[in-house]
Amino acid sequence: MGHYQPLLPDLILAMGATFILLLGPLRDSQNLRDFLRWISLGLVAATAATLVWVNHGMATPYPLVGEGWLTTAPLHTAFAVVFLATIAWTILASTVPDEDAGEWYSMLLFLGTGMIILARAANLAAVFLGLEVLSISLYILIAFRYSKRSSLRGGIMYLLLAGFASGFLLFGMALIYAVFGTLQIAEIRTLALATDMGPMAKVGFGLLLVGVGFKLAAVPFHMWTPEVYESSPGTVTGLIASSSKGAMLAAFIPFLFLLETHWSIIWLFAALSMVGGNLLGLREIRVKRILAYSSIAHIGYVLTGYLAGDTLSANAAFLPSITGVNAVFFYVVAYAASILGAFAALGYIQGERDLTLRDLRGVGRRNPVLAFCLLIFVWSLAGLPPAVGFFGKIYLFSAAINAGYFWLPLIGLLGSAIGIYYYLRIIVHLFMMPADASDPKVHASTLQEWVMLGSAVAVIALGLFPETIFSFLRAF
């Protein structure tokens, strides 16, 4: 048992997902949904608790578990717990018809399994398999409403392009393995830093970055975002934008040694994403697409922080006690808190067609609670104080400045100034436009309204006490 103990969280989650699937037909369908929802919530909580428990008191330097497949480093564990929290949030905020409840919740749990594996991956195979568990669950969740044509279209587009990208990723891994002869990222790191990397390794890492860039939706691998975001269920869109990207970000941390040689690629990713994402959103009128483009810009900001790496700069000027990866962690939490709520809220408003800005008119009057929450989320995404998104940007950019990057934070600041425009348009249409003849339809249960309100309060509270997130990180 002791040997397998570190794998307990993953086991609980995966077996729990199977269990829920089996449980589906056993109960009468009236209470089934609520029943399954609370069970899956309990499973996620148990997983998180186990994760914290098994990692507690690990000796430093943090050992690898599962025969070198997973790391127990605190940052990665913290990431995993955050992703579990997003899954729990989604379980609460989404509702499904009774007969689909089993598949829905078990898919969410499988998605969580993929995330916590990917976030803690310590070898190439774990990265690949974690990513695929995550991706394949997402294919199903995106196409979950198979009765809608657009949903099928989004599902197949994501599936084909993600498959294409993982082909690149896989081939890159093969080349890396061909050069270094090992799957362990730590060993690859040692070998790569010890010798001058040959062209083959460079190509390998380049192809790997294609896969990473696709998952993060960084320009130029961002093309799928608008369509897929548009056609997925609101809560799933939130997960794609937040924790699915976040898991990839966490998985990429061990590869940060690439910054030594490959920083220009990351720099380009970041700059293009910030410029492209913000410019693309300006003329869009479909709300989910606006947020999709904004998510591209946000990945640009995150990559800016990544450039700072995981070490502290010797003569840092701004915020010297915060490393790039810690800033990224902060941002992932801040962004997840905001974007999950925003997409879920749009999901509640969404009608049959694509949701446009015009459809938002009058929501402020029809459902002030939801509109207020959406306002807070958008406020935070725009990076305005006192919402938590403001600090996210500050930490990222100051980390980048400390690492000696000057232009990138500047591009980011200017880009976010441009971006304010489309966030403002959402607010304007929510509150400051007279509604059309028909009132918008807003469907949110009491539970969902409370969940939304809770996360809106959290977004503000984390902005007032941003240190909390770092304390959380230090607790691991």
Partner 1 sequence: MAQNILFYLAAVMAVATTSMVVITRNAVYAVLYLIMSLFAVALVFLSLNAPFLALVEIIVYAGAIMVLFLFVVMMLNLQGQRGDEATKRPTRRQMIVPGALALLLLILIVVSLSAGTPAATNAALSDPKLLGELLFTKHYLGVKLSGIILLIGTIGGLHIGRGGSIPSTMEKPIDDVTH
Partner 2 sequence: MTLPINEALILSCILFSIGVLGVVVRRNIIYVLMCIEIMMNAAGLAFVAASARHGSLDGQAFFLFVLPVAAAEVAIGLAIALLIFQRYKTLDLWVVARTKEA
Partner 3 sequence: MFYNNGLPALWLIPALPALGALIIFIFASRMPARAAGIIACSAISLSFLWVLNVGTTLVLGNHHHFVEHHWNWIAAGPFQGSASFYFDLVTFAFTFVVAGVGLLIHLYSYSYMKGDAGERRYFGYFNLFAAAMLVLVTAENAFFMFLGWEGVGACSFFLIGHWYQKSENTVAATKAFLVTRLGDIFLLIGLFLTATLVGVSFSQQSAWTQVATSSFIPGFGGLTGPQLILITGICFLLGAAGKSAQVPLQVWLPDAMAGPTPVSALIHAATMVTAGVYLIARFHILFALSPNLMLAVAIVGVLTAFYGATSAFVQTDIKRILAYSTISQIGYMFLGLGVGAWSLAVFHFFTHAFYKALLFMAAGTVIHSLHNEQNIYNMGGLRTKLKGTYLAFLAGAASLAGIPFITAGFYSKDAILWNTLSTKWGSPVIYGIAMLTALMTAIYSFRLIFVVFHGTPRKDIHVHLPDRLLTWPLYILAFFAIVAGFLNLPIVFGVTPIWEHSFARVFGEWQAEPLIHSHAVEWMALLGSGVLALGGAGIAWLLYSPAKAPMPEPAGDIATVENNTPAPYKAVWANFLFHGWKMDGFYNKTFVRGFRITSGVIAWIDRVFVDGIFEAIQAIVRGFHALVIFFQNGRVSRYAMVMLFGAVAIITILLIGSQR
Q: Is 265 exposed, middle or buried (0-12, 13-18, 19+ CB in 10 A)?
A: middle
Residue type, 249: L
- Is residue 233 a contact point for partner 1 (CB under 8 A)? yes
Q: Is 438 exposed, middle or buried (0-12, 13-18, 19+ CB in 10 A)?
A: exposed
- Is residue 124 a contact point for partner 1 (CB under 8 A)? no
Distance between first and last Cα of the chain: 23
200 within 8 A of 179, measured Cβ to Cβ: yes
Residue type, 415: G
Q: Which of 105, 139, 158, 214 binds partner 1 (CB under 8 A)?
A: 139
**What does the alpha-carbon distance between residue 17 and residue 133 come to, in Å, rounded to a whole number?**
13
Nearer Cβ to partner 2 (31/195):
195
Write each residue from 427 to 446 as x if it is in contact with partner 1 (CB under 8 A), else as -, in one continuous string.
--------------x-x-x-
Residue 184's φ and ψ, nearest 5 degrees, are: -75, 125
Tell me the CA distances in angstroms from 77 to 4, 51, 52, 118, one per residue in order: 17, 7, 8, 11
Nearer Cβ to partner 1 (120/425):
120
Nearer Cβ to partner 1 (201/270):
201
300 within 8 A of 418, measured Cβ to Cβ: no
Q: From the list partner 1, partner 2, partner 3, none, pick the one residue 344 interacts with, judged by a Cβ distance below 5 to 8 Å according to partner type.
A: partner 1
- Is residue 40 a contact point for partner 1 (CB under 8 A)? no
- Is residue 205 a contact point for partner 1 (CB under 8 A)? no
Q: Which of 7, 157, 186, 433 binds partner 1 (CB under 8 A)?
A: 7
Give the largest Cα separation in the chain, rounded.
Answer: 69
Applying CB under 8 A, the span of 141-149, 360-368, 407-415, 454-462 interacting with partner 1 comes to 141-149
375 within 8 A of 431, measured Cβ to Cβ: yes
Q: Residue 184: left (phi > 0), alpha (psi -120 to 50), or beta?
A: beta
- Is residue 341 a contact point for partner 1 (CB under 8 A)? no
Interacting residues toward partner 2 by CB under 8 A: 124-125, 128-129, 132, 136, 139-140, 143, 146, 148-150, 152-153, 155-156, 159-160, 163-164, 166-168, 170-171, 173-175, 177-178, 181-183, 352-353
In whole angstroms, the minimum distance from the beta carbon of 352 to partner 2 comes to 5
**Closest by alpha carbon to 413, among 332, 331, 296, 300?**
300
- Is residue 253 a contact point for partner 1 (CB under 8 A)? no
Interacting residues toward partner 3 by CB under 8 A: 153, 156-157, 160-161, 164-165, 168, 197, 199, 202-203, 205-207, 209-210, 213-214, 220-221, 223-224, 226-227, 261-262, 264-265, 268, 276, 279-280, 282-283, 315-322, 368, 384-386, 391, 398, 401-402, 406, 413-414, 417, 420-421, 424-425, 428, 431-434, 464-467
In 10 A of CB 437, how many CB atoms? 5
- Is residue 88 a contact point for partner 1 (CB under 8 A)? no
**What does the alpha-carbon distance between residue 173 and residue 201 come to, in Å, rounded to a whole number?**
9
106 within 8 A of 77, measured Cβ to Cβ: no
Q: Which of 137, 242, 304, 338 binds partner 1 (CB under 8 A)?
A: 137
Helices 368-381 and 446-464: crossing angle in degrees, nearest 10, is 30
Residue 438's φ and ψ, nearest 5 degrees, are: -90, 140
> Where do contacts with partner 1 occur on this chain (CB under 8 A)?
7, 14, 18, 21, 66-70, 93-97, 100, 103-104, 106-107, 110, 113, 117, 125-126, 129-130, 132-133, 136-137, 139-140, 143-148, 155, 175, 198-200, 202-203, 233-235, 344, 347-348, 350-352, 441, 443, 445, 448
